[in-house]
Structure formats: structure tokens, C-alpha cells
Structure 1
Amino acid sequence: MRRPTIKDVAADCGVSKATVSLVLRDSPQIGEDTKQRVRESMVRLGYVYNRRAADMRSQRSRTLGLVVTHLRNPYFAELTMAIEDAASTNGYTLFQGFSRDEVPRQRRLLETMAEHRIDGLILLPSHDSRQEDLREALGGARLPHVLIARSVRGYDCDYVGADNVRSGVLVGEHLGTLGVSSAAFLGGAEGSSARGDRIEGLNVGLRSAGVTSPLALSLPAIGDEGGISLVDRMLERIPCPDAIVAYNDMYAVGVMNGLRARGIIPGRDVAVASFDDVPDAAFQQPPLTSAAGHPEIVGARATRLLLDRLEDPDRAPRSVLVEPDLIPRASTTSWSGRA
């Protein structure tokens, strides 16, 4: 017994083959009543959509790739879920891989995804990625792609991320209005574009609030070093400043634990602020002041930008910066030295 076809479904419910095809794609051009009638006909006839055959005809696999560094950072987890949701809503399946912030592993993942004929790729590049690495892994395959969260110096392509300079400005202005006179920046990988932008903005914000010598110290993390050991290294170099700004909320939690281990009470003896505003930030002790980077918006816009790239491969690259928001909490507002 032969399998029913689109032609059979169209004849059964009195519409054209083109209409059935649009219903299969859930096109907004077709009214809900017609969609319901066509779907009922499919069930009645036992029609099963052959997506593989359709993809072969359209030269599309209906798959996207996503490569991020890891999911230990809750911000990246939220970002990943937002991208998967946006891809699914648009009829795409998402393949995921994790580079662990290692360029060789990242290269292998990109090459493998290209070999599996994904339609496009979203990449959170490892912190030490160079433009040559990405051109070799992506340019040669001519794979449509978007970078997220971290840019790569000299590499011109579509990009979506939080406005890290603006995030730093918001944190700096907030600390300045509290009356801090010295601050240290702890954490992040040296050379990371996000780290550099946050420090740049922080200095601008502190100066605009009247702090004449903004950063007493800036310490990048060494390897997988956490906030506790960063506090130890900081106190070996300088007295405890009025404020500590952590690269992200993960480092900030370690920083506050490291301070407590030294008998220094975060929020009271030293103001602590951070970036990303992950869900747990509000539940720290004290609750953590953080600049929200809105991963749900970054993920949705990155997916939209990639789908636009698939429709118009030759358009000029676009850069989208998502506006951050500062969420002040007791880790800074309860500082005892504020004016």
C-alpha cells in the first residue's frame, strides 16, 4: 500500500498542494481554520511529513550549531536555553558543543559541525581565539555564523552581546555615588574582550562620579583560579580597597567567601559588585549588586541575526549591543563607608 502524499491531502480537503506545504511550515499566510482542516486530513489519511526529502529539495538541513565554552557559568546556561528556544520556534534543531575555552577543541567542533552540513552557527569564542583561528575554521567553509558575548579583535562578522562598556559605566557610577575612593577589579581571562570592555567602562564611570584614581589594582584569573585565591593575591599587593568589582557573579561569590575568610565582611567593610545578574545573585549573603546582561535577549537576537544571514548571505555584518541594567543590592548599598 503506497504512502499518502501532499497531493492526496490537498485533494482530500479541497485545497492546493501549495497550501498544504504552507501548513506544514506553519505559515502565517494560512488561516487557522484552513490549517486545522488540512491537519485533520493528514491524520485521517495517515500522512507523515518527510522532512529529509524536503530538506534535500531546499538545500537546507534545518539544523543550527551552537558552540559555547561551558555551562558552569549560569549566564551561559541561560543564553543556551534562549538560543535553543528561538531555534525551535523557527523550525530548527540545535546541535551543541562545548569548547571548554580551548582553541584546539573549538576548532574540532567547528570543523565537525561544518562537515554535518548545519545551516549556520552561533559561537561564543574561547577567550584566546584569534581572527586567524576563526577564518581558518569558518571562513573556508563559508558557514554563516554569529559571535556572541565575546568579540575577536580584527574579525568582522555578525555579533550580539551585552554592552560591556556600558555595564562597567553603570557599576562605576554607582560605586562613585556611594563615596568609594578606591576599587579593585578581580577575575576574568586576560585578553578577553568582555573583561577589557568592563574595565574600560568601570574607569569611565568612576571618574565621572569624581573618583580621581579609579582602579587601584586589576587582577586577571590564572587558569581556573576562583575568587577566593584572587582575594589572597589582591591583599598581598594592596590594602583592602573600598570596593571590589568581580568579572562576573561566579567570581563575586568566591570573592565574598575569600573576604569572610580574612575577617572582612562583604557589603559592610567593602562594597562588592559584579556583572551578569544570574538568578542566584539576589540570594547571596549579602545580595549581590550586579549589572544585568540579559542573556534571554542576547540569545533571541543572535538567533534572529543568524536566520537573517541565511536569507541574505551577502549583507554587511551587523553588531548588536544589548543595553544592560544595574541591579543595586546590599553588597554595595550597605557599605559602611558610604557618604
Structure 2
Amino acid sequence: MRRPTIKDVAADCGVSKATVSLVLRDSPQVGQVTKQRVRESMARLGYVYNRRAADMRSQRSQTLGLVVTHLRNPYFAELTMAIEDAATKSGYTLFQGFSRDEVPQQRRLLETMAEHRIDGLILLPAHDSRPEDLLETVGAGQLAHVLITRSVRGYECDYVGADNVRSGVLLGEHLGALEVSTVAFLGGAEGSSARRDRIEGLGSGLRRSGVTSPLALSLPAIGDEGGIPLVDRMLERIPCPDAIVAYNDMYAFGIMNGLRARGIVPGRDVAVASFDDVPDAAFQQPPLTSAAGHPEIVGAQATRLLLDRFEDPDRVPSTVLIEPELIPRSSTTSWSGRA
């Protein structure tokens, strides 16, 4: 008969493996009632405290690293706060860094964090990251890590993010139900996996709704280009479409300003929709239709997946996709072409 593990104890008393580990260290982060319940499960299952494993755990720094691109997008700010909250509750201190979406800066941050012996890393990769970029830093050294929000094609590790394909499908079906005929997708870095998935889902949802030529134009952003110049570039190429889908809400805010500067009324003359549903989306004029990506869930799940990796370092990498939610608002529902 195999010996009971921390995982068995956690399942028996309905807590996480991280909580069981904290009880084993008699951490003040866990309440007395929970400690008692966990200890009763240990006794009932015959769990034997592995001193050698405890000695190995004691060598940990109890620190995690988080590298994101920037905090200009409120979605990333909410994501960061969710990760910090989950890490703190599990007894870890979080070190944070910002790559500014540049691979060289990302490499420097990852090397520095590894040198400071963090126990694990959560990474939102720069948009043009390659598998070898990660292998040179975190992959080769076997540092436990989880990617969030963006995957890196050809690189296998734990990943958590919103289901971007599904988000695109929801927006495509919504716009198709409004009987739009032409749609432009604006913004996002050309090499971004999230952008690719959102466009794929959008096209699928539009076709499913009977829109025969769904994407009249797809324009990636150039560098730090915002929504206003994207509108100018779009109108140089095509007439104003029935609908514009922005890569995210931050682009959408600029796009609506750019449309107004051209005398085009967002929501009435052209439907505008987006992704992320940051808090300010509901307060735009008109309020912005957006597919919510739930950063608070992404952050909590990513932290949990990383802590689980500590307990089972050899398990097969997991991909967790968070179900999105479409929030329809008058930036699409008031479109005058609907009639």
C-alpha cells in the first residue's frame, strides 16, 4: 500500500496542498480550526511527516517572481493584484518586474530573479518571445514557472489565460446578430498569441452568424501606437465598416476618440466592441461592449498552478482557459445600421 501524501490529506479535508504545507510548518497564516482539521486528516490517513522533504522545503526562499509587460492596461493591474493576494495568502512574498514588452528587458529580469533564488515564476511573456528565449533563462534551470495571458508557440509549460478564441466567438456572434456586414479588427502586436486567437474566434463567430466576408481589414499596432492613429490608417484603406473590434479596451477607448475626430459617432454610425472589460469600459460614451477575461480568476489560478508544481514537479504541464463573459453595451446595441 502506498504512503499517503500531502495531496491525499488536502483532498480528505477539503483544503489546498499549500494549506497543508503551511500547517506542517505551523504557519500563523492558517487558523487554528483549519490546522486542527488538517491534523485530524493526517492522523486518520496515517500520514507520516517526511523530515527530509521538510528540510528541502526549508531551503526555499518563500518568494515568487512575477514579470508582466506593463501596468498601463488596467487588466494587467488587476491580474497583478490577484497574484499578489494569492501568493501572500500562501505565505509567499512576490517580487515584480516589467518587461515593457521587450525580450531583452524580459531576459534581464528573469536572470536577476533566478539569481535571487526565487522559488517560482509567473510570466506574461513579451509578445515576440521565442521558445529559446525562455529556455535560456527559466527553462534550462528548471525553475518552476507558469505563463499567463500569452502562450509561446512551441514552448511547453503550465499556462493560464482567458479563452481568447471563445471571447472572439462571443463577439462575432453578437455582431452577427446585429446583422453587420463588414468588420475591422484593430490593434495588438502582430506576433501576439492573444491577438491571433481573438481574430480566429471573431471570424468563426461571424461566419457562424451568416456574415460571409467577416473581416474587411486586420491592422496590428505599430510599436506603441494607440487607437487614434489606427483609425486614420484604417480609413486610408477602407470605408468605415459596420463594426470595429479592438484588440483590447485600451485600444477601443482611443479608437472611439479617433472616430469622433473624424465626425463618426461610435455606437450610432459604427458598432465598437473589444476585449477585457476593464472597469472604465462601462463608463465610456457610449458604454463599451467587451468580452470579460476575468483577471482575478486568471491570477488566482496561475498562482495555484505554480504552487501545485512545487508539490509535483514532474506532472504533465497544464493549460487552464478561463471562460469569458460577453458584456453587451450601447457601443454595439445602439448601432443605427441594425434596422
**TM-score of the alignment, normalized to the shorter chain, above 0.5:** yes
Aligned AA (1:115): E
1:5 aligns with none
How far, CA to CA, are the matches of 1:234 and 1:338 in structure 2?
A: 22
Map 1:34-183 onto structure 2 (within 5 A).
58-183=58-183
Deviations 1:95-146 (A, max 9, x none): 0000000000000000000010100000000000000100111122210000
Map 1:1-339 onto structure 2 (within 5 A).
21-22=25-26, 24=28, 26=30, 30-31=35-36, 58-339=58-339
Aligned residues of 2:29 and 2:89 also touching (Cα < 8 A)? no
Q: 1:315 to 1:165 in 2, by over 3 A?
A: same
Q: 1:31 to 1:272 in 2, by over 3 A?
A: same
How far, CA to CA, are the matches of 1:130 and 1:298 in structure 2?
A: 23
Deviations 1:227-275 (A, max 9, x none): 0000000000000000000000000000000000000000000000000
Query: What displacement does 1:218 show?
Result: 0.1
Aligned residues of 1:276 and 1:292 also touching (Cα < 8 A)? yes
Q: 1:57 to 1:245 in 2, by over 3 A?
A: closer
Aligned AA (2:148): I
Query: What displacement does 1:22 show?
Result: 2.1
Deviations 1:148-191 (A, max 9, x none): 00000000000000000000000000000001000000000001
Q: Secondary structure at the match of 1:171?
A: helix
Q: 1:79 to 1:150 in 2, by over 3 A?
A: same
Q: 1:309 to 1:214 in 2, by over 3 A?
A: same
Aligned residues of 1:55 and 1:62 also touching (Cα < 8 A)? no
What are structure 2's unaligned runs of at least 5 residues? 1-21, 40-53
How far, CA to CA, are the matches of 2:149 and 2:169 in structure 1?
A: 18
Query: What displacement does 1:83 show?
Result: 0.2
How far, CA to CA, are the matches of 1:335 and 1:202 in structure 2?
A: 18
Aligned AA (1:152): V
| TM-score, length of structure 2 as denominator length | 0.86
How far, CA to CA, are the matches of 2:27 and 2:159 in structure 1?
A: 33
What are structure 1's unaligned runs of at least 5 residues? 1-17, 35-53
Q: 1:21 to 1:77 in 2, by over 3 A?
A: closer
Aligned AA (1:157): C
Q: 1:195 to 1:130 in 2, by over 3 A?
A: same
Aligned residues of 2:272 and 2:331 also touching (Cα < 8 A)? yes
Q: 1:336 to 1:94 in 2, by over 3 A?
A: same
| TM-score, length of structure 1 as denominator length | 0.86
Aligned residues of 2:167 and 2:201 also touching (Cα < 8 A)? yes
Structure 1 vs Structure 2 CA RMSD = 1.9
Q: Secondary structure at the match of 2:159?
A: strand
Aligned residues of 1:158 and 1:318 also touching (Cα < 8 A)? yes
1:8 aligns with none
Q: 1:165 to 1:19 in 2, by over 3 A?
A: closer
1:37 aligns with none
Deviations 1:10-30 (A, max 9, x none): xxxxxxxx9995254636653
How far, CA to CA, are the matches of 1:94 and 1:336 in structure 2?
A: 49
How far, CA to CA, are the matches of 2:58 and 2:251 in structure 1?
A: 47
Q: Secondary structure at the match of 2:337?
A: coil
Query: What displacement does 1:82 show?
Result: 0.3
Q: 1:23 to 1:110 in 2, by over 3 A?
A: closer
Q: 1:287 to 1:57 in 2, by over 3 A?
A: closer
Query: What displacement does 1:55 show?
Result: 8.6
Q: 1:23 to 1:212 in 2, by over 3 A?
A: closer
Query: What displacement does 1:334 show?
Result: 0.2
Aligned AA (2:234): M
